[in-house]
Amino acid sequence: MKNISVIGSGTMGNGIAHIFAQNEFRVNLIDVSSQALEKALLTISGNYDRQIKKGILNEARKKQALMNISTHTSVEEGIADADLVIEAITEDLKIKMEIFKELDQYSSPDCILASNTSSISITRLASGTDKPDKVIGMHFMNPVPVMQLVEIIRGYNTSEDTARQIVGIAEKLGKIPVEVNDYPGFVSNRILMPMINEAIYILFQGIAGVKEIDMVMKMGMAHPMGPLQLADFIGLDVCLSILKVLQEGFGEAKYAPCPLLVKMVEGGHLGKKSGSGFYNWSGDAKELQVAGRFK
Ligand code: CAA
């Protein structure tokens, strides 16, 4: 496998393009918006600079990595010679189903179709294609260049050969692949989201404040970020949609999203990406302040 196409140039898509290009794959980064593609290239370049500062990369390797990336606004053109396509667009079943139909139509018969979805059923995405054996979940963690895990999700019809190839690719990227089966939330979000939801309930019930909740988990359990900061980092809309997938998929009240989370998403407080959530993200990220209403 040499040619990789990544659909979507947002945080996850540009992170995925970043690591493939750095590891000498040819990357076609695809987005409907050419402005979004330009922004993604600037982000990738800035993140390579962080790695240069740490001595992980040098200027020559950065230059080569950036040359390995081409951008496209047409899916048909961008996946024409792909050995592997990784979809990293918005977490919306209908939009993902449409994209998978298009990927199926324009990709070569041997091309593997992967999704970076954090909760949507891989089996369902595969059902809209003529090659469900070649559809798989490749769930990267944010920030992609830093986090070691790739959760590999086997759909009900994913073939052994597809799974082996994807495990091999993740290893080539220097990541740690972990294989799991396709049930709501997979493993990562089945564990992470109830923890985040419980932290929001603790705040909602007035048991402790934002700083205190996060401090307990950072200082007591050695988490790099507290659950409320992490929720802001992931995006509160994403957390809400994953909790809904768990609630619907298992039909259990324990996954019901906290009303405070629902209210914050309705009010447009989505965390880092909107500038406010449990924290105020408009200032210096190193001096993160609790949002005014939670002080
Ligand atoms: N590209 C390259 N390098 C990056 C980077 C990026 N996008 N972001 C951060 N870094 C590097 C920094 O250069 C720095 O390197 P060193 O450790 O070598 O100094 C390192 O990462 C740490 O960064 P910072 O010093 O800026 O900040 P930090 O120490 O607070 O760490 C963090 C930031 C890595 C994000 C850390 O807080 C962390 O691990 N947080 C938890 C992240 C997490 O849980 N991610 C999973 C979210 S869930 C998900 O993604 C899936 C889902 O389905 C919801």
CA dihedral 95→98→100→102, nearest 10 degrees, is -130
Looking at the structure, tell me whether residues 258 and 283 fall in a common domain: yes
* Lookup: tokens for 30: 């695809």
Of the residues 131, 162, 181, the one at which a domain ends = 181
Task: Give the count of domains, the chain.
Answer: 2
Looking at the structure, tell me whether residues 247 and 106 fall in a common domain: no
Looking at the structure, tell me whether residues 128 and 7 fall in a common domain: yes
For ligand 1, say whether the CB of 51 is within 6 Å of any of its atoms. yes
pLDDT (tens digit, 0 to 9) for every residue of the chain, 295 residues total? Answer: 999 999 999 999 999 999 999 999 999 999 999 999 999 999 999 999 999 999 999 999 999 999 999 999 999 999 999 999 999 999 899 999 999 999 999 999 999 999 999 999 999 999 999 999 999 999 999 999 999 999 999 999 999 999 999 999 999 999 999 999 999 999 999 999 999 999 999 999 999 999 999 999 999 999 999 999 999 999 999 999 999 999 999 999 999 999 999 999 999 999 999 999 999 999 887 889 999 999 9
Annotated catalytic residue within 5, 9, 28, 118: 118
Work out the number of other CB atoms within 10 angstroms of the CB of residue 121: 21
Instruction: Say whether 127 sits in a helix, a strand or coil.
Output: helix
Of the residues 164, 181, 198, the one at which a domain ends = 181
Instruction: Say whether 256 sits in a helix, a strand or coil.
Output: coil
Q: For ligand 1, atom 25, which residue shows the shortest CA distance?
A: 286
Annotated catalytic residue within 115, 116, 121, 189: 189
The CATH number of whichever domain residue 204 belongs to comes to 1.10.1040.50
| pLDDT reported for residue 133 | 98
Instruction: Say whether 42 sits in a helix, a strand or coil.
Output: helix
Looking at the structure, tell me whether residues 264 and 126 fall in a common domain: no
Residue 25's nearest CA partner among 194, 168, 197 is 168
Looking at the structure, tell me whether residues 119 and 209 fall in a common domain: no
Looking at the structure, tell me whether residues 115 and 246 fall in a common domain: no
Looking at the structure, tell me whether residues 14 and 105 fall in a common domain: yes
Instruction: Tell the burial category of 91 from Cβ atoms under 10 Å away from its Cβ (0-12, 13-18, 19+).
Output: middle
For ligand 1, say whether the CB of 206 is within 6 Å of any of its atoms. no
Looking at the structure, tell me whether residues 55 and 97 fall in a common domain: yes
The CATH number of whichever domain residue 139 belongs to comes to 3.40.50.720
Of the residues 181, 198, 227, the one at which a domain ends = 181
> Where in the sequence is the domain holding 245, given as residue range(s)?
190-294
Looking at the structure, tell me whether residues 70 and 205 fall in a common domain: no
| pLDDT reported for residue 283 | 84
For ligand 1, say whether the CB of 118 is within 6 Å of any of its atoms. yes
CA of 219 from ligand 1 middle (Å) equals 18
Looking at the structure, tell me whether residues 23 and 147 fall in a common domain: yes
| pLDDT reported for residue 240 | 97
Query: What is the chain's length?
Result: 295
Looking at the structure, tell me whether residues 23 and 166 fall in a common domain: yes
Looking at the structure, tell me whether residues 137 and 252 fall in a common domain: no
